[in-house]
């Protein structure tokens, strides 16, 4: 379906608001839970390892169904699919808030992930279909403001709710937003023709097994000791074998559950690679930052969220400038600029000391935000620009999957580095706590503490643990900086955007 020439500007922006609301509630829900896990564990009688399945279950179910967006649009119709997903997300958000046991919560989160999986790719697909090529960048910029603000709003809102209300309200707040989005979907979203398609059950089963194995491997690897765990090793083997069979089978099967031939499009493939590397670097770092701030810098959940909020504001401001810049500058250069700015923000975080004031933790995030604003809109535009209209829904679904995959990979890598490097730093510093070390003796004399005093030793141990974790966080930030630098060469695989696709008319 192509954009209607008779569609008014007001109608187009009402459609934009509709799909942005749907997308934002899903993205916020992926991050808002993290700051409330400690409180949820107490209410649901779960330990630290068990409560993490609340996050894992959502990630896995969402990852499985996200690439199926295109198939579901053809079978169900986009308006009907969007409405069903919003209502399903509403129902299971409410049930998550009412859950009384860990088992109930995990099941409801799985269902919430299933219904939420298509909300982001559907929003992107609807916008691409609503606005003509001359308005694409402007539309994607408006959409991107919501998409970028949501991951930052999640921890901020979650922190306030956790500190001032009950954790159950992090799910209840979805209800009014879902009701508004569902109503607007009925009023403003147009339907697409439905098709009778034969389901590729073999491909679907392979996809479910492969994605599940990968996501659980990434999410549980660090806590289970990676390849030291037989469970994690088995998941890795299942993923490798499953992925190999799925790719070979899907490439030669024209009716595969996913159209892998979309990756023949160089723009689409290069954009997906850029997205994975970029999100691994930026969102992996963003995941561990509140852990350090709350665990070792004595910041509350709400204050941690406040200090991370300017990142989202900066991203939104940068996106405002993307549309006018796209009229004069090659989108590939804007992507390059976004990566460099973000990399610089990551580099600044690699030099954060333990005794950092709030501004030292905020301004690198602001720089990151500007970079994010310059990256996400152009790369999303480039990814779908050369796809056939019939492939937009499926392309949007798989593109969103790669965004989540990059986040999962980045989080897994960063948490592992954080844990391991903290241990290395701890062992290096403990060696210096030696009566024969003149610097140690000088420090004791300066502080007036006694080496034999148990309280002194306890205080020193706490200081070493905190300092070791800050050192490891600096290592994580430096790694995230390197990941972004590694992504730069893939920009040169992108073809030059057509003038029709990037010009903006007001």
Tokens (6 digits) for 445 = 């004399």
Asked if residue 150 and residue 280 are part of one domain, the reply reads no
Instruction: Specify the residue for token string 């991203």.
Output: 315
Asked if residue 277 and residue 242 are part of one domain, the reply reads no
Asked if residue 346 and residue 209 are part of one domain, the reply reads no
Asked if residue 211 and residue 194 are part of one domain, the reply reads no
Q: Which of 178, 198, 218 is the last residue of a domain?
A: 198
Give the length of the chain.
Answer: 506
Q: What is the full per-residue pLDDT of the chain (506 aa) written as tens digits?
A: 444 445 678 888 899 889 988 888 888 877 777 667 777 888 888 876 677 788 778 888 998 899 999 999 999 999 999 999 999 999 999 999 999 999 999 999 999 999 999 999 999 889 888 888 777 777 777 777 777 767 666 767 777 777 777 888 889 989 999 999 999 999 999 999 998 888 899 999 999 999 999 988 988 888 788 888 999 999 999 999 999 999 999 999 888 889 999 999 999 999 999 999 999 999 888 878 877 887 778 787 677 777 877 888 898 889 888 888 888 889 999 999 999 999 999 999 998 887 778 888 899 999 999 999 999 989 988 998 889 888 988 998 999 899 888 888 888 888 888 888 888 888 888 777 777 777 777 767 777 676 666 777 777 777 888 888 889 999 999 999 999 999 999 999 998 876 554 433 32
Query: Residues 365, 310: contact at Cβ < 8 Å?
Result: yes
- DSSP string of 193-225, one letter each residue: --------HHHHHHHHHHHHHHHHHHHHTTTTT
Give the Cα separation of 105 and 98 in Å (integer).
Answer: 9
Give the Cα separation of 261 and 87 in Å (integer).
Answer: 33
Give the Cα separation of 321 and 56 in Å (integer).
Answer: 36
- DSSP string of 54-93, one letter each residue: HHHHHHHHHHHHGGGHHHHHHHH-HHHHHHHHHHHHHHHH
Tokens (6 digits) for 110 = 């799985």
Asked if residue 246 and residue 277 are part of one domain, the reply reads no
Tokens (6 digits) for 406 = 């990059």
Give the Cα separation of 163 and 38 in Å (integer).
Answer: 12
Tally: H helices and E strands in the chain: 21, 0
Asked if residue 325 and residue 285 are part of one domain, the reply reads yes
- DSSP string of 142-157, one letter each residue: HHHHHHHHHHHHHHHH
Q: Which of 198, 215, 240 is the last residue of a domain?
A: 198
Give the Cα separation of 444 and 368 in Å (integer).
Answer: 41
Nearest to 119 by CA among 83, 169, 74, 155: 83
Structural domain boundaries, residue 57: 1-198
CB atoms within 10 A of CB 17: 15
Asked if residue 278 and residue 210 are part of one domain, the reply reads no
Asked if residue 428 and residue 317 are part of one domain, the reply reads yes
Asked if residue 506 and residue 371 are part of one domain, the reply reads yes
Q: How many domains does the chain have?
A: 3
Give the Cα separation of 474 and 288 in Å (integer).
Answer: 11
Asked if residue 141 and residue 72 are part of one domain, the reply reads yes
Q: Please, what is the end-to-end C-alpha distance for the chain in angstroms?
A: 23
Stated as kind and residue range, the H or E segment containing 117 is none
Asked if residue 210 and residue 292 are part of one domain, the reply reads no
CATH code where residue 397 lies: 1.20.1250.20
Q: Which of 256, 271, 289 is the last residue of a domain?
A: 256
Asked if residue 349 and residue 276 are part of one domain, the reply reads yes
Nearest to 143 by CA among 154, 156, 130: 130
């Amino acid at each position: 379906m192509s954009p209607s020439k008779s569609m008014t500007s007001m109608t187009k922006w009402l459609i934009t608001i509709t799909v942005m609301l749907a997308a934002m509630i899903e993205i916020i829900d992926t991050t808002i839970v993290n700051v409330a896990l400690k409180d949820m564990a107490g209410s649901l009688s779960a330990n630290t390892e068990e409560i993490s399945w609340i996050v894992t279950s959502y990630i896995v179910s969402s990852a499985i169904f996200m690439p199926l967006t295109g198939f579901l649009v053809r079978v169900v119709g986009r308006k009907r699919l969007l409405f069903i997903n919003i209502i399903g997300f509403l129902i299971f958000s409410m049930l998550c808030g009412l859950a009384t046991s860990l088992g109930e919560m995990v099941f409801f989160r799985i269902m919430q992930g299933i219904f939420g999986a298509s909300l982001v790719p559907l929003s992107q697909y609807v916008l691409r279909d609503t606005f003509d090529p001359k308005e694409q960048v402007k539309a994607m910029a408006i959409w991107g403001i919501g998409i970028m603000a949501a991951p930052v709003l999640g921890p901020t809102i979650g922190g306030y709710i956790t500190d001032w209300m009950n954790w159950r309200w992090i799910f209840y707040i979805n209800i009014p937003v879902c009701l508004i989005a569902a109503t607007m979907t009925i009023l403003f979203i147009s339907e697409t023709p439905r098709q009778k398609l034969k389901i590729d059950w073999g491909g679907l089963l392979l996809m479910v097994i492969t994605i599940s194995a990968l996501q659980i491997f990434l999410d549980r690897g660090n806590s289970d000791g990676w390849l030291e765990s037989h469970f994690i090793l088995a998941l890795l083997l299942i993923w490798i074998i499953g992925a190999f069979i799925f790719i070979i089978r899907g490439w030669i099967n024209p009716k595969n559950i996913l159209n892998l031939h979309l990756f023949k499009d160089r723009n689409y493939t290069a954009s997906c690679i850029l997205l994975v590397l970029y999100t691994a670097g930026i969102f992996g770092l963003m995941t561990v930052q509140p852990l350090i701030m709350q665990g070792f810098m004595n910041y509350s959940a709400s204050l941690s969220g406040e200090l991370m909020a300017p990142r989202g504001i900066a991203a939104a401001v940068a996106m405002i400038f993307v549309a006018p810049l796209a009229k004069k500058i090659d989108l590939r250069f804007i992507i390059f600029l976004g990566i460099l700015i973000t990399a610089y923000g990551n580099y600044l975080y690699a030099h954060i000391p333990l005794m950092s004031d709030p501004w030292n933790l905020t301004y690198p995030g602001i720089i990151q935000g500007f970079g994010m604003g310059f990256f996400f809109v152009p790369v999303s535009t480039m990814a779908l620009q050369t796809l056939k209209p019939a492939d937009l829904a499926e392309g949007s679904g798989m593109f969103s999957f790669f965004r989540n995959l990059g986040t999962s990979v980045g989080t897994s890598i960063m948490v592992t580095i954080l844990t391991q490097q903290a241990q290395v730093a701890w062992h290096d510093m403990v060696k210096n706590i030696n009566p024969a070390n003149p610097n140690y003796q000088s420090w004791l004399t300066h502080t007036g503490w006694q080496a034999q005093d148990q309280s002194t030793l306890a205080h020193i141990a706490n200081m070493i643990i905190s300092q070791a974790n800050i050192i490891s966080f600096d290592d994580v930030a430096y790694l995230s900086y390197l990941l972004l630098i590694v992504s730069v060469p893939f920009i040169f695989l992108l073809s030059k955007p057509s003038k029709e696709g990037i010009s903006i008319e007001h």
